[in-house]
């Protein structure tokens, strides 16, 4: 089963670095996007993480209301 989280992130050293201390609870895509919008309202840059059967698979960005794989 696919689940998603949102978390604050920064770009440095030619790579994205997610602050997992800010990671939201695992949720469906729509809920994760809503949670990401709440973090962005605080001025944070947000990346999303996809989990498949509880295993972290890759990072994603929101584009036009949908999550798109970035790596």
Domain of 22 in residue numbering reads as 2-62
**What are the tens digits of pLDDT across the range 6-22?**
999 999 999 999 999 99
| CA distances for 41 relative to 7, 20, 57, 62, angstroms | 13, 18, 26, 14
Q: Is residue 13 part of a domain?
A: yes
Q: Are 5 and 25 in contact (CB under 8 A)?
A: yes
Number of domains making up the chain: 1
Q: Is residue 51 part of a domain?
A: yes
pTM passes above 0.85: yes
Report which DSSP code applies to 31: H
**What are the tens digits of pLDDT across the range 25-67?**
999 999 999 999 999 999 999 999 999 999 999 999 999 999 9
């Amino acid at each position: 089963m696919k689940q998603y989280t949102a978390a604050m992130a920064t770009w440095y050293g030619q790579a994205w670095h997610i602050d997992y201390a800010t990671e939201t609870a695992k949720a469906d895509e729509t809920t994760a996007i809503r949670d990401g919008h709440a973090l962005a309202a605080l001025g944070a840059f947000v990346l999303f993480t996809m989990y498949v059967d509880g295993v972290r698979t890759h990072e994603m960005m929101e584009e036009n209301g949908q999550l798109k794989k970035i790596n």
